[in-house]
Amino acid sequence: AQTVTQSQPEMSVQEAETVTLSCTYDTSESDYYLFWYKQPPSRQMILVIRQEAYKQQNATENRFSVNFQKAAKSFSLKISDSQLGDAAMYFCVAGGTSYGKLTFGQGTILTVHP
Amino acid sequence: KAGVTQTPRYLIKTRGQQVTLSCSPISGHRSVSWYQQTPGQGLQFLFEYFSETQRNKGNFPGRFSGRQFSNSRSEMNVSTLELGDSALYLCASSPTGHEQYFGPGTRLTVT
């Protein structure tokens, strides 16, 4: 079984600044994946970035990067040069060997101020 | 490639009725998963289909069922609707079963 915890219900950032969203997870599996998804007001769930647990190198995707601390079971998302379009609900998500099942955190609402 | 599509986008039903939601995955994706999203419970996994077989199921009552066709399109059915079934239902497809790509969802309101 997997659990995902996001302790920040809401975060805000000024446009062009950097913000970090926190996430901790728990899993009994040795082979698992971690993701960050965003869900803007349109409700369309969008994959932002993925991290394979067996990879030590932190994933990056343009302005988005993660800090994956496997021993601490921590998986934070850093958004650099924040843009108004980054405003959304961000979900930390875990996937493993359970076919097709992703486990979502509670989400963090990110507000970007111009 | 076209993304995941879901129909209908909005639906209003009455308690006791049944409803069928449809999902067309990204071309080439054989895995389709369904999720229920509510303000109180967040996102919860319903079930996953791969090559017309249900491989995994979440903790939902038997009123929730699904199927997948040979072209990978999937349908989800909810029978004897309850007020608590009001939710956004999300379908996602995957090439590997790991990263998933979501459709826009179907907003179901039960009155």
Q: List B residues 36-65 in contact with A (Cβ-Cβ < 8 A).
A: 42-43, 45, 47-50, 55-56, 58
Answer yes or no: are the C-beta atoms of A76 and A21 closer than 8 Å: yes
pLDDT per residue rounded down to tens, chain B (111 residues): 789 999 999 999 999 999 999 999 999 999 999 999 999 999 999 999 999 999 999 999 999 999 999 999 999 999 999 999 999 999 999 987 789 999 999 999 999
Stretches where chain A sits below pLDDT 70 are none
Residue B2's pLDDT is what? 86
Calculate how close chain A gets to B90, using CA atoms only, in Å: 9
Measured over the CA atoms of residue A89, residue A82, residue A22 and residue B100, the dihedral's sign is positive
CA distance B109 to chain A (A): 16
How does pLDDT run across A57-80, given as a tens digit for each residue? 999 999 999 999 999 999 999 999
Cβ–Cβ contact B102 with A under 8 A: yes
User: Residue B95: what pLDDT?
Assistant: 87
Is the CB of residue A9 less than 8 Å away from at least one CB of chain B? Answer: no
What average pLDDT does chain A have? 95
Q: Does A33 touch chain B (CB under 8 A)?
A: yes
Residue of B nearest to A44 (CA): B104
Bridge partners of B24, per DSSP, are B5
Chain A residue with the nearest C-alpha to that of B42: A106
Q: Find the closest chain B residue to A108 by CA distance.
A: B42
pLDDT score, position B98: 80
Residues of A in contact with B41 (CB under 8 A): none
Predicted confidence at residue A17, as pLDDT, reads 98
Å between A33 CA and nearest CA of chain B = 7
Q: What is the pLDDT of residue A97?
A: 81
Cβ separation of B31 and A99 shorter than 8 Å?
yes
Question: In sequence order, what DSSP letters do the residues of chain B get, joined into one string?
Answer: ----EEE-SEEEE-TT--EEEEEEPPTT--EEEEEEEETTTEEEEEEEEETTEEEEE-S--TTEEEEE-TTS-EEEEE-S--GGG-EEEEEEEESSSSS-EE---EEEEE-
CA distances from A90 to A110, B14, B30, B50 (A): 7, 32, 26, 28
- CB interface of A with B, residues 88-107, below 8 Å: 91, 95, 98-107
